[in-house]
Amino acid sequence: MSTADEPGFFRAMIRLGSILGTVPFAVLKKGIPSMMKRVPIPPERQAQLEADFALNRTRDMRRGLQAYLRWLHRDDDPARRLCEAGVPAWVVHAEKGDGDLTKHEREILEACPHVRVVTLPGQVFFLPNEVPGRIADVIVQALAEV
């Protein structure tokens, strides 16, 4: 939930978009198939995801990811911002690697009455694709609570 949680190369790619326009995002888009090879999913699902990612327009990627980086920089406490939004939220994250919460983020989110924190064991990157059954369970639970 913070800038430091995002890999440096990813942040640099987003910042380079301010200078080089959509070029960094074209590179990022081209690299997605090789990243997908590391995701433990069936080959047919991998092919579907690659086809979906190929539909992204680099201009839209640039705008969306730059907005995301601005959101991360708004202040140093996005967990508190999420809590103060006052709307029901479910934070689903992996225990290790991409998606891990800091101690501070966890304390804030777990103390927030309308936020549910769901920690998936192990290291998971593409949550809905790597653990679809668990994500479906979270969605069912969330819908039952609203």
DSSP per position, 66-118: HHHHHHHHS-S-HHHHHHHT-S-EEEEEEEESTTPPPHHHHHHHHH-TTEEEE
For residue range 4-27, list pLDDT tens digits in order. Answer: 667 788 888 899 999 999 999 999
Tokens of 71: 């959101």
Domain final residue, candidates 43, 73, 103: 73
Q: Which of 3-7, 90-94, 99-103 has the lowest mean pLDDT?
A: 3-7
pLDDT band at residue 98 using 50, 70 and 90 as cut-offs: low
Tokens of 115: 């936020």
Number of structural domains the chain divides into: 2
Residue 131 carries which DSSP code? S
- What pTM did the predictor assign? 0.70
What pLDDT shows up at residue 66? 93
Q: Are residue 54 and residue 107 in the same domain, yes or no?
A: no
SS3 call for 58: helix
Query: Range of 38's domain?
Result: 3-73
**CA separation (Å) from 17 to 33, 44, 53?**
21, 32, 19
Q: Are residue 20 and residue 68 in the same domain, yes or no?
A: yes
Q: Region 75-93: what's the mean pLDDT?
A: 89
What pLDDT shows up at residue 24? 92
**What is the spatial distance between Cα 23 and Cα 19, in angstroms, rounded to a whole number?**
9
Domain final residue, candidates 73, 97, 112: 73
89 or 96: which leads in pLDDT: 89
Per-residue pLDDT for 78 more than 90?
A: no
Q: Are residue 7 and residue 67 in the same domain, yes or no?
A: yes
Residue bearing tokens 């069912």? 140
For residue range 29-60, list pLDDT tens digits in order. Answer: 998 888 888 888 888 888 888 899 899 999 99
